[in-house]
Amino acid sequence: MKSAGIQQEQYRYEVYLKNAGFILTRGRAGVFKAAMETHGHFTAEDIVKLCVLHKPKISRATVYRSLHEMMEAGVVRGTAFGEKHQVFEHVYDEIPHHHARCIHCHQLFEFKDKGEDVRYRPILAKMGFRILGHEMHFYGVCKDCQEEL
Amino acid sequence: MKSAGIQQEQYRYEVYLKNAGFILTRGRAGVFKAAMETHGHFTAEDIVKLCVLHKPKISRATVYRSLHEMMEAGVVRGTAFGEKHQVFEHVYDEIPHHHARCIHCHQLFEFKDKGEDVRYRPILAKMGFRILGHEMHFYGVCKDCQEEL
DNA sequence: GTAGGTGCAAACCTTTTGCAGCATG
DNA sequence: CATGCTGCAAAAGGTTTGCACCTAC
């Protein structure tokens, strides 16, 4: 499940959808493809914008329904802190990335990390939780806002 | 900014509100108090439920407006991943806590941590970002769901 | 007394759902 | 050919806003 492999095979969404237990349909394939091609974060409406360009178009209802299914299947996940609507990201990033939110200007900064965070693993292992991935959320004040204040 | 201190002084919301640059009003005090007394995560609607009990009641509009202001001031922050509506928590927890979400049953597990995560600090320092706090988001499969699958 | 906070209700935006028709396996 | 996905449009749920009144300083 490495990103390189997925890209080589143009995401092979047929395979991923079937492995996730879905039957392959025009709507799901379109939503899945749009999500995979969107880098970073996206909202449901971002996907709708891409999907209504199809002919015939993929409807808003299908986009929402498919995104739900893809969350169930673990293909995308919700990742927001502060927004009033849901924000997603797909899970096929090669390197885990982390977030830092400025509490003043609300800008979101991302940074990559090649390592693994080991501190918390024993705690979760004791709880019987199988970790598939992780992400850090920092909050603070960004460079520009420090100068401003 | 220790939780114990705040509780001793019954949150002293007058002081906190004024320090944050607000003038003290009945509405803001009520929203602030409700947020501080709510442990863990809360939605805007949770606060509304508490605030309409006041006589005279604090309206839904005031709750939303005050929560916005309190986010600006860094008194509460948004913290969600997956929900369709905004979820908040106040920032006066004694110990930072972290989250683990099961991608199957969507249950949210929390666990506390006394330590500090130092790995990422240099990266953010290089970006000029002043860190006020952090939180980890793990995603994976919880104990019960592993047995089920 | 004045600037600005509040309540109400309507508007707005995002997400969900019922139903009839259509596509997939 | 049957199951179940899709589009449409309406409804539901959550959040924002305009305006007239009221309150804190």
Number of helices (H), then strands (E), belonging to chain A: the values are 7, 6
Q: What is the mean pLDDT of residues A62-79?
A: 89
Q: Are A81 and A89 in contact (CB under 8 A)?
A: no
User: CB distance A131–B100 less than 8 Å?
Assistant: yes
Q: How many CA atoms lie within 13 A of A21 on its CB side?
A: 7
User: Across the interface, which of A80, A102, A119 has its CB nearest the CB of B81?
Assistant: A80
Rounded to whole angstroms, the distance from the CA of residue A61 to the C1' of nucleotide D10 is 13
Residue B12, φ and ψ in degrees, nearest 5: 40, 55
**CA B84 from chain center: how many Å?**
17
Cα–Cα distance measured from residue B52 to residue A13, given in angstroms and rounded to the nearest whole number: 50
pLDDT of residue B10: 47
Q: What is the mean pLDDT of residues B76-87?
A: 80
A93-97, B15-19, B58-62, B137-141 — which one is most confidently predicted on average? B58-62
In this predicted structure, the answer to whether residue A145 has a pLDDT above a threshold of 80 is no
Distance from CA of B133 to the nearest CA of A (A): 5
Task: Establish if B113 touches chain A: CB-CB under 8 angstroms.
Answer: yes
Nearest to A98 by CA among A62, A63, A140, A148: A140
Single pTM value for the model: 0.80
pLDDT of residue A95: 67
In this predicted structure, the answer to whether residue B116 has a pLDDT above a threshold of 90 is no
Sequence-distant (≥ 6) Cβ neighbours of residue B100 within 8 angstroms: A124, A127, A129, A131, B108, B109, B110, B111, B137, B138, B139, B140, B142
Cα–Cα distance measured from residue B65 to residue B51, given in angstroms and rounded to the nearest whole number: 13
- Helix, strand, coil percent values for chain A (each to nearest 5): 40, 20, 35
Distances (CA, A) of B115 to A35, A117, A120, B2: 36, 13, 10, 16
In this predicted structure, the answer to whether residue A124 has a pLDDT above a threshold of 90 is no
What three-state secondary structure class fits B91? coil
